Structure 1
């Protein structure tokens, strides 16, 4: 089966590939990757701390950056595109109902601990996720809940009916997955980094399922923090928190073409200006998400600035746990208050555009005729008056310590949006919180906020990965647990098999989100950039911001 393809402008034209060249390779004593001598250390500046290294308990890019170097999924993406190709499964097919999926697995693959990858290992992972126990653990499995709905025994209020039924190992090379219902997410969702395949032996040895909640924070297992074991081109070399460095070592037993560098170091530098300084000083080879104003200057100075397509969305989240925000008129007032066009012109990267719905126009179900909220302060004031919400005070949460592909400058974005809201009489209390261990837990787990800025980079080309991820079930982030009409409409659209009917159903969902429900406000689509020094070769930029560094070479020291 093939995934729907992105439009050419998204999948190919806007993605740059740095050609690998022998002149850029570091010399070493080994020659085991197809003839070219390789080696050295590639140092990349990460923008924030990872949460942990167990894929299933994560959902953010700073965590997934090291994770995708160590782990692999059943289905993968062709480098530089959002098109699907074989990963740990060489091929896959489904029956006419879309409920039974058969995967033909690669032979000769081993986990980093030396144990064999096979169908039993695949089934162990799927069964582990489905049978996860404890509300703390289940609450941290955001991607699993979005794709598979619920668990064998739901222990969190937001979990739904399980999509997963069972997994059978027909033989070592054949895994058969049975679902309770058809879901449009597949096969794309099988490529989710969160659904990477871990070593069953390591999961058991290091008590991987142990997740403990202490107040507003979570503690994870030795597996998640110290002993992650996948099948990928790099192995875990440790996280030195004193140095703010994650070390990944070349997997000499990798089943495919071996990584060209001996080591990758992800150096965590939270300040964007400091990341740029270290790039210029030569202490790192690459940075992600440069400030929009810096892109041209860096290119002029000889750095390789690769603009990925804007396969993403930034939104202003609204938490209906606040009774005032349950009133649609108040949410519409907030939408009319925002001067999003000016925000795009002054704070967004070049090539950005105002968003009028929660998915790019390249994805099935985009509806060109949705209700749009142009900047109209007087309309905003009128709606607030009608709703009896004049003088409204809102706590606006934002993460000042990270740079995200859809959010290159959260402090500045917050300031502009807050000023727009205050101009229509809404008092704003800004609440800056650190990305991990603060903002994400406060917003996504505990719903402490009234407003927040957050966003999403698509994982695969399906409306369910955008709209379904945000609004397919009630979330603390939006306080929208009572919006069952919206959940039902999304579930129906996602379960529609006929392509034309599916398109029509998703278009209507997007119209209704804008006009009837408005659980959040789309802000912009922005093309994120990745920058490397001129002598780095082989980096393939991904529209999904899902780069793997196994093809990279660095100059000899």
Structure 2
């Protein structure tokens, strides 16, 4: 059991109390002190852009976290709540109003003061995103607040009722109803606070959709402006290199590095070779088979606590056969998930019984793994009249994810499982950004796909609500009963009642089986021997401000 994650449950349960942790925050700020030097980190994928509200992928979040800050954050190496830009956060009795006491003396990278007006400007901006292109990309905001002031797409009614700034250091968030996701969700990188000046100057809301691809405005691509310990310097899209510089005017402990460079190196073997050659000082997601050799060579392999789900996604909209639950059950029985866990993932990987990890409140412990049973799969296909089923199976390239260390190998194994029960598989490989994510999340042109999720905070809704809380192109189904069940669980503020509601929702999900949960596993990050201060996070929420490089 992940004790760090369990501790967050207590923090959420105490959400009706005033949370005052300023002294802890000060002591946990980086120990860098501005020693200098440059760290080059090998990232497995390219960031889509740098405006956190539009971000949905880990590589965009990885870079954004260094430049932006949220009102509430997570203590290093845990999922425990800690002060960010707010020193205290106090709800009223029913969770419909949250009062934030703000840090003083903070400025954005462009010199704009951080204050309550800036906080309210950001909340109002998110609530009033102007068009379907912008709203469709604000997935985390929708998941938390339900919709927008003026919905341009198929969204629910927004629970955001406004933001007040009674004085410079106090911001008050008003909601139409409480949600059990708070206060933990206040730490979402998507809710990072941006400079109002820069947002207006660089047309932050001018996002456009052309075909299946989004075009982002100048703010998101060239002028992201937060309050964090690093500031944006450049992004060379051709080489996949993002350069950040230390923010010498940072309000807390200044970073220990002069520069932080993220180099996109999609191939895991290439990342390992560059680390061994000394051209990078660290990289994410080393292949589980390389961990022992890397440690033997003197590198630090820092394991994260498992807090993710890897799943085989099923889109019911394109292929009528997939709308039959018997066909989805057949696909589940066809996949040898135990073999995946044992042969292609870290040693402690486990077969998933549902779409949340065991450490998340709301896990239904009575659910059993779907057994590998090719004969049963063939029988179900025959019963559904789908013995000649053909599927377009999409999988990503040019990326490694915490839950999916080698997408091609995983696809190959799963596709062979499907072929063994008579399913014809048409493989469709696409690059992670600029193809795959747009096809899966926007266009919905796939039948099957591989994807997963690392939790942003300890809340079942952050997993199953994000996946199945509303109709999405990724899964292509409408099940209002399930949507309503998840919405009711999310609105439940009492921790015990909320856990019970999500346990039942997880049983309903596995009965309907909109997709197939595969595994949960512990990813790792590896750094050179002379790198100090890197703290692995179960949320993959590593902050590089604490990092220094020894001589």
Flag the 1:103–1:349 CA change in 2: closer, same or farther, 3 A: same
Cα deviations across residues 160-197 of structure 1 (Å, max 9, x unaligned)?
11121100011100000011111111111110001100
Who is 2:178 aligned against?
182
**C-alpha displacement of 1:545:** 0.5
Who is 1:286 aligned against?
282
**C-alpha displacement of 1:554:** 1.1
SS at match of 1:107: coil
Alignment of 1:96 onto 2:93: yes
Aligned mate of 1:507, from 470, 495, 503: 503
**C-alpha displacement of 1:5:** 5.7
What CA distance in whole angstroms lies between the structure 2 residues aligned with 1:269 and 1:372? 35
Aligned mate of 1:135, from 117, 132, 135: 132
What CA distance in whole angstroms lies between the structure 2 residues aligned with 1:395 and 1:553? 47
Aligned mate of 2:161, from 151, 162, 165: 165
What CA distance in whole angstroms lies between the structure 2 residues aligned with 1:100 and 1:36? 37
Alpha carbons 1:249, 1:264 under 8 Å: kept: yes
Superposition pairs for residues 142-153 of structure 1, below 5 Å? 142-153=139-150
Who is 2:61 aligned against?
64
SS at match of 1:325: helix
**C-alpha displacement of 1:54:** 0.5
Superposition pairs for residues 134-283 of structure 1, below 5 Å? 134-157=131-154, 159-283=155-279
Who is 1:403 aligned against?
400
- The count of residues paired between Structure 1 and Structure 2 equals 529
**C-alpha displacement of 1:10:** 12
Who is 2:345 aligned against?
348
Who is 1:524 aligned against?
519
SS at match of 2:5: coil
Cα deviations across residues 131-167 of structure 1 (Å, max 9, x unaligned)?
011111111111111111100111112x111121100
Cα deviations across residues 387-429 of structure 1 (Å, max 9, x unaligned)?
1111100001110210001110000010011011111111111
What CA distance in whole angstroms lies between the structure 1 residues aligned with 2:500 and 2:545? 41
**C-alpha displacement of 1:500:** 2.4
Cα deviations across residues 233-259 of structure 1 (Å, max 9, x unaligned)?
000010122332110000000000000
Aligned mate of 2:489, from 483, 493, 497: 493
**C-alpha displacement of 1:499:** 2.6
Alpha carbons 2:330, 2:381 under 8 Å: kept: yes
What CA distance in whole angstroms lies between the structure 2 residues aligned with 1:353 and 1:85? 30
SS at match of 2:194: coil
Alpha carbons 2:32, 2:548 under 8 Å: kept: no
What CA distance in whole angstroms lies between the structure 2 residues aligned with 1:105 and 1:367? 38
**C-alpha displacement of 1:501:** 2.0
Flag the 1:530–1:509 CA change in 2: closer, same or farther, 3 A: same
User: Unpaired runs of 5+ in structure 2?
Assistant: 11-29
Who is 2:16 aligned against?
none
Aligned mate of 1:315, from 294, 311, 315: 311
Alignment of 1:544 onto 2:539: yes
Flag the 1:526–1:371 CA change in 2: closer, same or farther, 3 A: closer
Alpha carbons 2:69, 2:85 under 8 Å: kept: yes
Who is 2:427 aligned against?
430
Alpha carbons 1:371, 1:511 under 8 Å: kept: no
Who is 2:358 aligned against?
361
Flag the 1:437–1:363 CA change in 2: closer, same or farther, 3 A: same
Who is 1:379 aligned against?
376
Flag the 1:9–1:502 CA change in 2: closer, same or farther, 3 A: closer
Flag the 1:35–1:96 CA change in 2: closer, same or farther, 3 A: closer
Aligned mate of 1:109, from 74, 95, 106: 106
TM-score (norm. length: structure 1):
0.93
**C-alpha displacement of 1:493:** 1.1
Who is 2:548 aligned against?
553
**C-alpha displacement of 1:59:** 1.1
Alpha carbons 2:257, 2:547 under 8 Å: kept: yes
What CA distance in whole angstroms lies between the structure 1 residues aligned with 2:411 and 2:7? 33
Alpha carbons 1:185, 1:462 under 8 Å: kept: yes
What CA distance in whole angstroms lies between the structure 2 residues aligned with 1:35 and 1:187? 29
Flag the 1:539–1:5 CA change in 2: closer, same or farther, 3 A: closer
**C-alpha displacement of 1:323:** 1.3
Aligned mate of 2:48, from 27, 48, 51: 51
Flag the 1:461–1:36 CA change in 2: closer, same or farther, 3 A: closer
Alpha carbons 1:310, 1:528 under 8 Å: kept: yes
SS at match of 2:385: coil
Alignment of 1:417 onto 2:414: yes
Cα deviations across residues 81-115 of structure 1 (Å, max 9, x unaligned)?
00001100011010011110000000000000001
Alpha carbons 1:371, 1:514 under 8 Å: kept: no
**C-alpha displacement of 1:35:** 9.6
SS at match of 2:331: helix
Alpha carbons 1:234, 1:249 under 8 Å: kept: yes
SS at match of 2:549: coil
Alpha carbons 2:315, 2:473 under 8 Å: kept: yes
What CA distance in whole angstroms lies between the structure 1 residues aligned with 2:79 and 2:402? 16
Superposition pairs for residues 4-43 of structure 1, below 5 Å? 6-7=5-6, 38-43=35-40
User: Unpaired runs of 5+ in structure 1?
Assistant: 12-32
